[in-house]
Amino acid sequence: CNWYEVDPNLQFLMDRLLEQGDREFAETWLKRWGALCGGPIAERAERTDRHPPILERYDRWGEEIDRVEHDPAAIATKRDLWNAGFNGLPYSEVAKERGRPVPAPLMTAFSYLLAQAETGMLCAVGMTPAVAHLIERHGSEELKARFLPHLRAMNFEDAWDGSMFLTEKTGGSDLGTVSTVARPNGDHWLLEGTKWFCSNVDGMVIATLARPEGGKPGIKGVAAFIVPRFRSDGTRNGLRIRRIKEKLGTRAVPTAEVDFVDAEAYLLGDDPFDGKGINRAMEMVNISRAGVGVMGAGIARRSFLEAAIFAANREAFGRTLTDWPILRKDLLAIQLASESAAALIFEVARLTHLHDHLGDEEAGRLLRILTPLVKLRATRQGLTAASAALEVLGGNGYIENWPMARQLRDAQCHT
């Protein structure tokens, strides 16, 4: 099933948000992505949920390797996404030949389609643009040259995933309590400390927060850093994975606890004591918030599809379920949740395009307010839609080999 071709609302949004020249360019990609997400990626998602990543701490000789093993289905999905331009299209030769930016609403549409298949995989690959943005905005020219070509690659073989290791056990989202310590060491820094929720733990390029030695207490004493998976000499960096957390949902993305042990790191910004480390990190977090909103909207859309298809093919009391007005009312409520969430996320995409590519400062100010609100509302819409759709499926909805149980588990993560 091509999820773009069966989604008149998404087609309407693309018609409304894209200029004619962009619309023609987008159509080819949207059809490709719709077939990919509605076909092989959706099929593999059931397997990647049942076979989540596992941690292999030691090799056969007892040497610590801290390697995360992924099911072949997950690797195949990542390969498909990178090769289809999930992170690389806006920076590709195809985009350069156009002579104009790839519209942000188009890239949001790719994430929206992927979210309908598996939000855990969207989390795994979707952090990469935010990490790349952080490096582009605040990294040295050397860091940009080293990391950006891989973070924005158009093929799986050259691609490096991004990760975020921000929160710690004691403070959670209270980032002013960060206790990880950063010590200068020549042209880089060494980090020592523990991170509690490390998303996409085996990513190649990690954005994190630490407190430089001698820094102030609280928020103003925290700086932002990039930690590569491997040191500059090619050896393993000082990252020790304690364990991968057993989560209710979004199982495709490995979330873990990690110790930094003299981990090689690179400062983002010019001054480690300028008090702006968390401000820099929040630029990345706001991009991620928009992505989480997309996850909620995608789950809402998938919930409507599953409920509508089931109801159209299920008979009760001599009639199909869709012949019963009370059931049609339930379907309309799910559709309303889906399309209202979609309207929100694509408004964020529109404003993002205006700000990033056209320099519209008013759009930037609106984004700062709207993005967290959209994250809040769209994820709630996703959870509401998933719960309602599960009820439409009745007992089947509560069974794990039907799709709605996973959608409900995943939806709760994003709220």
Give 43-67 pLDDT, tens digit per residue.
999 999 999 999 999 999 999 999 9
Residue 332 in any domain: the answer is: no
Considering the domain boundaries, does residue 345 fall inside one?
Answer: no
Nearest to 262 by CA among 288, 235, 286, 284: 235
Burial class of residue 161, CB neighbours in 10 A (0-12, 13-18, 19+)? buried
**Domain enclosing residue 178, as ranges:** 162-277
pLDDT tens string 267-290: 999 999 999 999 999 999 999 999
Position 173 in a domain: yes
Is 234 part of a structural domain of the chain? Answer: yes
pLDDT in tens, 132-188: 999 999 999 999 999 999 999 999 999 999 999 999 998 788 898 999 999 999 999
Residues 6+ apart with CB under 8 A from 119: 250, 295, 298, 299, 410, 413, 414
Q: Alpha helix (H) ranges present in 71-140?
A: 72-83, 93-98, 104-117, 119-138
Task: Give the Cα separation of 405 and 371 in Å (integer).
Answer: 28
Distance CA 29, CA 23 (A): 10
What's the domain count of the chain? 1
Residue 232 within any structural domain of the chain: yes
Give the pLDDT confidence score for residue 172 in this predicted structure.
81
The answer to whether 79 and 54 are in contact (CB under 8 A) is no
Predicted local distance difference test score (pLDDT) of residue 278: 96
CATH number at residue 225: 2.40.110.20
* C-alpha–C-alpha distance, residues 236 and 65, integer Å: 8
Convert the pLDDT of each residue in 62-109 to its tens digit.
999 999 999 999 999 999 999 999 999 999 999 999 999 999 999 999
pLDDT in tens, 231-246: 999 999 999 999 999 9
Distance separating alpha carbons of residues 168 and 189, to the nearest angstrom: 19
Q: pTM, whole model, 2 decimals?
A: 0.97
What DSSP string runs through 6-22?
T-HHHHHHHHHHS-HHH
CA-to-CA distance for 165 and 201, rounded, in angstroms? 8
- Whether residue 191 is contained in a domain is answered as yes
Residue 198 lies in a domain: yes
Q: What is the per-residue pLDDT across 12-40, written as a single tens digit (0 to 9) for each? A: 999 999 998 899 999 999 999 999 999 99
Mean predicted lDDT score pLDDT of the chain: 97
Can you tell me whether residue 193 is helix, strand or coil?
strand
**Per the domain annotation, does 293 fall within a domain?**
no
The closest alpha carbon to 284, from 174, 404, 164, 412, belongs to: 164
